[in-house]
């Protein structure tokens, strides 16, 4: 049997490829498909009343193999409370020039304060912009939340927060947060 010329074989490959579904992704015009467990930008989560889940324990920073996290904890006071526990994360930075998105930090976090979102568009032409500060990482305030500092829900303790018995900000918390905002605006 005569051998099929190489050129004809090559056209055969091209012909078959014409009927295959294109693999081209029209990004950024169309959103990219992200796997459910994709590790993107980090997020510092809040309790349902707006208080922060981070307690400034630094376990995430110790777990990071790339030394990309810097945390400074501070004590909550009755006048200025950011989280339900004794302490909160006063300074929180993630250096995305170092981060390798391994997720070890979120595994180490004892309060589920730190999780990773699906956001991956982090490129920048300024290196300093890739060091994310706490305000860049904090979860947005959802309906029913008020931004700290403000007291815990009346009668609730730290345990109630972690057991899910706090479901949103109370009227007293809203009034306290409003008073703090007014004080700041008149100062």
Q: Give me the residues that bind ligand SF4 (CB under 6 A), please.
A: 54-60, 63-64, 66, 68-69, 71, 89, 94, 99-105, 108-109, 111, 113-114
Instruction: Report which of 42, 109, 50 is spatially closest to residue 83, judged by C-alpha positions.
Output: 50
Distance CA 132, CA 154 (A): 34
Q: How far is the CB of 107 from ligand SF4 (least distance, A)?
A: 8
Q: How far is the CB of 106 from ligand SF4 (least distance, A)?
A: 7
Q: How far is the CB of 140 from ligand SF4 (least distance, A)?
A: 17
Nearer to ligand SF4, 117 or 180 (CB): 117
Q: Which residue is listed with tokens 């008020």?
A: 146
Q: How far is the CB of 105 from ligand SF4 (least distance, A)?
A: 3
Q: How far is the CB of 117 from ligand SF4 (least distance, A)?
A: 12
Nearer to ligand SF4, 55 or 176 (CB): 55
Nearer to ligand SF4, 85 or 176 (CB): 85
Nearer to ligand SF4, 64 or 152 (CB): 64
Mention every residue, 6+ apart, whose C-beta is less than 8 A from residue 60. Answer: 69, 71, 105, 106, 108, 109, 114
Distance CA 186, CA 99 (A): 41
Distance CA 179, CA 138 (A): 22
Kindly report the backbone phi and psi dihedral angles of residue 74, in degrees, each rounded to the nearest multiple of 5, phi listed first: -150, 160
Nearer to ligand SF4, 67 or 163 (CB): 67
């Amino acid at each position: 049997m005569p051998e099929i010329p190489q050129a004809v074989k090559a056209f055969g490959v091209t012909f078959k490829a014409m009927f295959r579904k294109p693999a081209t992704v029209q990004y950024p015009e169309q959103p990219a498909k992200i796997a459910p467990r994709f590790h993107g930008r980090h997020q510092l989560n809040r309790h349902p009343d707006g208080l922060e889940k981070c307690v400034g324990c630094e376990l995430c920073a110790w777990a990071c193999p790339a030394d990309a996290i810097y945390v400074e904890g501070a004590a909550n006071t009755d006048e200025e409370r950011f989280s339900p526990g004794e302490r909160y994360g006063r300074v929180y930075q993630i250096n995305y020039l170092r981060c390798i998105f391994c997720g070890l930090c979120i595994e180490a976090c004892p309060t589920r304060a730190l999780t990773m979102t699906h956001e991956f568009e982090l490129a920048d032409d300024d290196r300093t912009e890739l060091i994310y500060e706490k305000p860049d990482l904090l979860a947005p305030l959802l309906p029913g939340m008020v931004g700290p500092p403000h007291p815990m829900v009346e009668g609730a303790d730290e345990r109630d927060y972690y057991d899910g018995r706090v479901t949103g900000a109370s009227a007293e918390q809203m009034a306290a947060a409003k008073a703090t905002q007014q004080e700041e605006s008149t100062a």
